[in-house]
Amino acid sequence: MVSNLTFLFRVLQKRTFLSTFSQFRFISYKPTLNTPLFPFPIDINTKSKGPTSVDQFELVKNANFILHDGPPYANGPIHFGHALNKVIVNSSTILKDFIVRYQKLQGKSVSFIPGWDCHGLPIELTAIGNDFLLPPSEIRNACKIKWLNPRKRAEYCMSDQANSFKRLNIHADWNHAYSTLDNTYQATVIRAFRDLHRRGYVIREHKPVYWSRTTRSAVSDSELEYNPQQESPSLYFLVELHTQPPWIPTSYRKYATHAVVWTTTPWTIAANEAIIFNPFEEYSVVFDKTTKRILIVASYFVQSLYALLNCPSDRFEIITTVHGGSFDNYAYKHPMNRQVPTHRTDHHSYRLMPGDFVERNKGTGFVHCAPAHGREDFDFARRHGLPLVIIKRLGDQLLALGTIQHSYPIEWRTKQPIITRLSEQWFIDTSKLEERAKAAYATVNVFPPERKSMMQAFIEQRPFWCISRQRNWGVPLPVLYRNNEAIVDGDFIEAVAERVARGGSEFWWDSSIPNSQLIPPSCLEKVLRWNLSAQCADTELVRGSDIFDVWFESGLSWKAVLSENQVADVYVEGLDQFRGWFSSSLLLSAALVERAPFKDLVVHGFTTDGEGRKMSKSLGNVISPQEILDGVATGCTDVLRRWAATSALATRSAVSVKAFTAHTISYKKLRNMFRFALGNIHDLVEKRGRDWVLNSFMSNKVECATFSLLDKWVLSMVGRFCADCLEFYYPQHRYEALIAALDQLVSRISTTYFNGVKDVLYCDAAESETRRGVQQTLLLVTEVLRLCLDPIFPDLSAEVDAALDKSSIENTQLLHFAATHWKAEDATLSRAVAQAVALRQAIVAKRHPDGQESSQLWSGPAANPLARLHIIILEEGTEIKGLDSIKRLNEEVDPDGTSTLCKILRCASIRFGTTTQRENCIELKLENVLGEEEPSEYPSHLTCLLRLAHESTQCPRCRRYRSINKCLCERCAPVVSSLSYDQQKMN
The per-type count for the chain, helices as H runs and strands as E runs, is 33, 31
Supply the pLDDT for residue 283. 94
Cβ neighbours of 1 (radius 10 Å): 9
Identify whether 155 is part of a domain. Answer: no
In the predicted model, what is the mean pLDDT of residues 442-448?
A: 94
Integer Cα distance of 783 and 389 in angstroms: 74
| Residue 525 CB partners (closer than 8 Å, separation 6+) | none
Identify whether 424 is part of a domain. Answer: no
62 confidence band (pLDDT: 50, 70, 90): confident
Integer Cα distance of 411 and 121 in angstroms: 11
Cβ neighbours of 539 (radius 10 Å): 12
pLDDT tens digit sequence for 534-581: 677 788 889 998 999 989 999 999 999 998 889 999 999 988 889 889
Identify whether 803 is part of a domain. Answer: yes
855 confidence band (pLDDT: 50, 70, 90): low
Supply the pLDDT for residue 58. 61
Whole-number Cα distances in Å, 636 to 81, 94, 695, 745, 789: 19, 14, 33, 22, 16
Boundary-marking domain end, from 825, 851, 879: 825
| Residue 448 CB partners (closer than 8 Å, separation 6+) | 603, 649
Same domain, 783 and 884: no
Identify whether 489 is part of a domain. Answer: yes
Same domain, 685 and 821: yes
Question: Using CB atoms within 10 A of its CB, is residue 45 exposed (0-12), middle (13-18) or buried (19+)?
Answer: middle
In the predicted model, what is the mean pLDDT of residues 129-141?
A: 60
Nearest-Å Rg of the Cα atoms of the chain is: 40
Same domain, 820 and 844: no
Supply the pLDDT for residue 559. 96
Identify whether 466 is part of a domain. Answer: no
Supply the pLDDT for residue 3. 45
| Residue 215 CB partners (closer than 8 Å, separation 6+) | 121, 132, 411, 413, 414, 471
**For the chain, what percent of residues have pLDDT higher than 90?**
32
Which region among 169-183, 647-661, 710-724, 790-804 has the lowest average model confidence (pLDDT)?
A: 647-661
Identify whether 154 is part of a domain. Answer: no
Same domain, 814 and 890: no
Boundary-marking domain end, from 358, 393, 408: 408
How many domains is the chain built from? 4
Same domain, 816 and 687: yes
Same domain, 691 and 801: yes
Pairing state of beta strands 316-323 and 257-263?
unpaired
Same domain, 355 and 301: yes
| Domain ranges, residue 498 | 478-545
pLDDT tens digit sequence for 742-777: 999 999 999 999 999 999 999 999 999 999 999 999
667 confidence band (pLDDT: 50, 70, 90): very high
For residue 341, whether the previous peptide bond is cis, meaning omega lies within 30 degrees of 0, is no
Supply the pLDDT for residue 599. 97
**For the chain, what percent of residues have pLDDT higher than 70?**
72
Which region among 5-19, 55-69, 339-353, 528-542 has the lowest average model confidence (pLDDT)?
A: 5-19
Same domain, 817 and 877: no
Domain CATH code at residue 721? 1.10.730.20
Supply the pLDDT for residue 604. 87
Domain CATH code at residue 275? 3.90.740.10
Which region among 161-165, 582-586, 613-617 has the lowest average model confidence (pLDDT)?
A: 613-617
Residue 946 CA, chain-centre distance (Å), reads: 53
399 pLDDT more than 70: no
Integer Cα distance of 570 and 99 in angstroms: 9
- Whole-number average pLDDT of the chain: 79
Residue type, 515: N
Nearest to 755 by CA among 907, 950, 953: 907
In the predicted model, what is the mean pLDDT of residues 120-129?
A: 62
121 pLDDT more than 80: no
Same domain, 668 and 799: yes
Supply the pLDDT for residue 200. 94
Supply the pLDDT for residue 987. 39
What sign does the CA torsion over 467, 469, 472, 473 have?
A: negative
Supply the pLDDT for residue 540. 84
| Residue 23 CB partners (closer than 8 Å, separation 6+) | none
What DSSP line would sit under 18-63, residue for residue? HHHSGGG-----GGGS-----SS-SS---S-SSHHHHTT----TT-
Across 16-20, 408-412, 459-463, 870-874, which has the greatest mean pLDDT?
Answer: 870-874
Supply the pLDDT for residue 375. 59
Tell me the whole-structure pTM to 2 decimals: 0.76
408: β partners? 227
In the predicted model, what is the mean pLDDT of residues 950-966?
A: 86
Question: Using CB atoms within 10 A of its CB, is residue 910 exposed (0-12), middle (13-18) or buried (19+)?
Answer: buried
124 pLDDT more than 70: no
Same domain, 720 and 852: no
Helix axes 581-593, 183-198, angle to 10 degrees: 60
pLDDT tens digit sequence for 284-339: 999 998 889 999 999 999 988 888 888 888 889 999 999 988 888 889 988 876 55
Same domain, 809 and 888: no
Identify whether 421 is part of a domain. Answer: no
Which region among 17-31, 86-100, 787-801, 928-942 has the lowest average model confidence (pLDDT)?
A: 17-31
Q: Which helix (H) or strand (E) holds 141?
A: helix 136-143
pLDDT tens digit sequence for 224-239: 666 666 666 778 889 9
Same domain, 879 and 862: yes
Boundary-marking domain end, from 795, 825, 855: 825
Q: Which position has the higher pLDDT, 489 or 690?
A: 489
| Residue 432 CB partners (closer than 8 Å, separation 6+) | 200, 201
Identify whether 501 is part of a domain. Answer: yes
What DSSP line would sit under 185-254, residue for residue? HHHHHHHHHHHHHHTT-EEEEEEEEEEETTTTEEE-GGGEEEEEEEEEEEEEEEEEBSS--TTS-GGGTT
DSSP assignment letter at 963: -
pLDDT tens digit sequence for 592-638: 999 999 999 999 887 777 666 766 655 666 666 667 666 655 557 88
